[in-house]
Copies of this chain bind each other. A is one copy, B any other.
């Protein structure tokens, strides 16, 4: 399944419209290119709807909001909803400020999202549960563990039903859930949280995968998480072998996504379906 998702990205080279944050936007553009898709980052209110309407997916990331980008996001999401283009929402730092929560409330009240993807603290905040976000990083107390996995899956399947969106949570154990089904992924390495932007990149990758697989959003979202996790595993091994640090890891991670193929994906993945 997943290799077909990836193959569709390579074949269709979907245009992915990202309105994201300037901290990690270069990484987002590069990972969209690395997986075989084509990024465009337009975020002026004047052109956001026009660019969204010609794209195959829209990636909305609230990591660094301001009045201008929020206005552009509204235009882009509305245009995408009108034309049936999947919108991926990354609620970066949800719970960290009233401004972010207010912006999210406005979004959920007005629009439909194909996937809501973030770390556990962000998704707990989106779901109205107690959350311990630390800036834009997940709080340790919130982590998905083997002990609370069942409970977390149930919570996020309910949230998925409520939002009408696939919910994708990243961490040591990843959960990608629709109301009917959940993928559990145990790939990846803690070093991924020692470089900035792995979450943002995964959202952009999710948008690229959904852009070429409109009819299989859950599987596309899961495939993106799995590809990122397998790439993290590979990057960690290469970094360790050469005695490198986080700078090397970042390069190897991008390399691994650009070199990902069906064999590597299938051979490396550690996925369970419930």
- Hey, which bits of chain A sit against chain B, CB under 8 A? 15, 17, 21-27, 29-30, 33-34, 38-47, 50-51, 54-55, 63-68, 93, 96-100, 134-137, 193-197, 244-248, 250-259
Contacts and interface: CB of A to CB of B under 8 A. Distances in A.
A194 B34 contact: yes
A236 B15 CA distance: 25
A196 B27 CA distance: 9
A23 B47 contact: no
A137 B100 CA distance: 32
Contacts of A97: 42, 46-47, 50-51
A43 B64 contact: yes
A150 to B, nearest CB: 30
Contact of A254 (B17, B29, B246): B246
The 3 A-B pairs of least Cβ separation, nearest first, read: A247-B254, A40-B135, A245-B255
This protein's copies in its complex? 3
B251 A248 contact: yes
A223 B118 CA distance: 35
14 contacts: A21-B41, A24-B29, A26-B196, A34-B194, A38-B134, A40-B93, A40-B96, A42-B93, A44-B67, A44-B99, A47-B100, A50-B96, A51-B135, A247-B250
A196 to B, nearest CB: 4
Contacts of A40: 93, 96, 135-136
Contacts of A41: 21, 23, 63-64
Given A43-B64, A43-B66, A46-B97, 16 more contacts: A23-B25, A29-B197, A33-B193, A33-B196, A34-B247, A38-B134, A41-B64, A42-B64, A44-B65, A47-B96, A66-B68, A67-B68, A245-B256, A245-B259, A247-B250, A247-B258
Given A43-B66, A245-B255, A135 B250 contact: no
